[in-house]
Chain A
Amino acid sequence: MSEIALVNSPNVGLDKTQKGGPYVNDLSTLNLGPTHPATHGIFQNILTMDGETIVDAEQTVGYIHRAFEKIAERRPFYQITTLTDRMNYCSSPINNMGWHLTVEKLLGIEVPKRAQYIRVIMMELARLADHIVCNSILAVDTGALTGFLYVYQWREHIYEIYEELCGARLTTNMGRFGGMERDLSKVAIEKINVLLEGLPKGLKEFEGMVMRNRIFMDRTQNVGAISAERALNYGFTGPNLRAAGVDYDVRSLNPYSSYEDFEFDVPVGTKGDTYDRFLVREEEMWQSLRIIQQAMDNLPEGPYHADAPHYYLPPKQEVYKNMEALIYHFKIVMGEIDAPVGEVYQSVEGGNGELGFYLVSDGGRTPYRLKFRRPGFIYYQAFPEMIKGSSLSDAIVTMSSMNVIAGELDT
């Protein structure tokens, strides 16, 4: 019996004659994942435990690798949009817009102001949806289920707004090169106004329940902390970096899609622990609401897409009766339009960090090389360092607060 226990432990060959018997300092191995309800995605962590304390962790990723970068090398640009929204599926419109911005940069398309504002509204809605998921699930992981139910209905409401804009809910494929495929409908505007009215109440209720809750604070404060210096060295971006005290936000440092027109704060934390990450996300939701309010108030009149017939799908009615429209429709759908030669990097502030697209075009119909900078992939490697020395339950909470999305990490 004792022999079996020793074989499974990493300390095989332990001196059995030492004082206290063979089990002194005996370490055990625990498999957390790949499929475990608490990891919120398919991640495997092989934890080396000393009792309840984590001594070391080793990660295995790639369980849902779908070779997006390889597939992208054979697909026309339009067909890559559908790959991007399968990366971070909690905030797919941001991925779609990021890809569209990248291609527009390469093609040199000027996007009209109205389309830019609609994009900002959709991206901020996506950020709200992403943060609602992350924060309320974090509360669930610490045992508070009720708060989750208060805010989750608003995520459903946001998905209904997506439906108005693009017809889909999760994998949105929203927008086109040069703008949006449709304007904000009357229903969409109504729904956004309902959200602006109702979400603050739900959010307040949620915060009142969780934010100063003694149990929640005990579970999250000083848990999974990382210093600003280490976070930068590990390539952290987004709320996780800001929680550590670095005010790097792509929206304010390199504004895209008219973010410079809006007034918003970039919240930062001090300790970089789980509680700070939670607080930063909470405040970002309030800032997102502020941005959406400003965008709705100042929504410019005008077209909702650029005049770029080579890249923007013509309306279907036109295709049936107008020859040029038919030709462009065919060429765009079949991907017969060559892109100019060039190299572009465009980043947007995704739900969990800087989402970058590095596109190398050799003048063909498909990218020569497309590299996605996925924030989750880059900062998840710091996880072992963040949980070493803490208990297993802290590791669960830390992972939850890091907002790692398996689809994005594995592409």
Chain B
Amino acid sequence: MEKLNNQQIIEALQKTFGEDAVYGIGESHGILQVTTHVDNIVPMMHFLYADPILKFQFLTDLAGIHFPEAKGQELGVVYHLHSLENNVRLWIKAYAPIEAPNFPTITGLYATANWMEREAFDFYGIIFVGHPNLIRILNVDDMDYHPMRKEYPLEDATRHDKIDEMFGR
């Protein structure tokens, strides 16, 4: 069987969801990445799962990410999919504004997304609409902020022994 190449995946996605549905197409060390609109995530995941050739049926990971500079698209989610049969990996990215960081849940398709989405909620405050149990997972329940967001510095801001200027940074 000929190995599935990235061009085929792009074509299949564009054929099904339209030319405009996937953008930001890129490749990083052999792994294809596409960006899509938040509304497309669930149908796209289902399509990739059910397609008899693509068979992206393994959700490797789900990572939240925060870009404070990108206005209107501050919070993002990177879905790491893996087609075990073809041994091809794929990243699907989607972004939402920080005021309304609503993403659809994919727990209906992948049971494993349950804790992954809880983790992204815990650390980035991303709301996964329809998640069965969207509560904090690693942090304490009464924490009132989402610590992985970039506005929270890691170290105490009042410390003066580690100012960047001292190190020429």
Contacts and interface: CB of A to CB of B under 8 A. Distances in A.
B35 to A, nearest CB: 12
Contacts of B61: 356, 358, 371, 373, 378
Interface string B106-150: 000011101110010001000000000000111110000001100
A69 B63 CA distance: 11
Given A71-B154, A235-B112, A381-B115, A345 B139 contact: no
A83 B164 CA distance: 23
B137 A62 contact: yes
Contacts of B59: 235
A61 B137 contact: yes
A344 B167 CA distance: 28
B4 interface: no
Interface residues of B, number: 37
A105 B65 CA distance: 21
B135 to A, nearest CB: 10
Interface stretch (A43-51, A192-200, A226-234): A226-234
A378 B147 contact: no
A377 interface: yes
Contacts of B167: 334, 336
A347 B140 CA distance: 30
Interface in B28-73: 28-29, 31, 33, 57-61, 63, 65-66
Contact of A65 (B33, B139, B154): B139
Interface string A215-226: 000000000000
B58 A232 contact: yes
A130 B138 CA distance: 25
Contact of A105 (B29, B57, B80, B87): B29
A358 B58 CA distance: 16
A182 interface: no
A207 B3 CA distance: 41
B161 to A, nearest CB: 14
Interface in B82-102: 84, 87, 89, 91
A378 B116 contact: yes
Interface residues of A, number: 42
Contacts of B111: 230, 233-235, 381-382
B29 A70 contact: no
Contacts of B60: 235, 347, 354, 356, 373
A40 to B, nearest CB: 19
A410 interface: yes
Which of B60, B89, B139 has most chain A Cβ within 10 Å?
B60
B13 interface: no
B89 A345 contact: yes
B147 A67 contact: yes
B78 A358 contact: yes
A36 interface: no
B155 interface: yes
Given A358-B80, A378-B115, A371 B63 contact: yes
Contacts, number: 88
Contact of B28 (A74, A342, A365): A342
Contacts of A246: 84
A73 interface: yes
Contacts of A234: 111-112
B143 to A, nearest CB: 11
B28 A343 contact: yes
A344 B155 contact: no
Contacts of B139: 62, 65
A378 B1 CA distance: 31
Contacts of B154: 70-71, 73-74
A343 B138 contact: no
A344 B26 CA distance: 12
Contacts of A365: 169
A323 interface: no
Contacts of A378: 61, 112, 115-116
A371 B147 CA distance: 14
Contacts of B116: 378
A360 interface: yes
A388 B166 CA distance: 58
A381 B138 CA distance: 13
Interface string A329-354: 00000101000001111010000001
Which of B33, B63, B147 has most chain A Cβ within 10 Å?
B63
A343 B112 contact: no
Contacts of A69: 123, 148
Given A61-B137, A235-B112, A378-B116, 12 more contacts: A62-B139, A69-B123, A70-B148, A74-B154, A235-B60, A334-B167, A342-B29, A345-B28, A356-B61, A379-B112, A382-B111, A410-B138
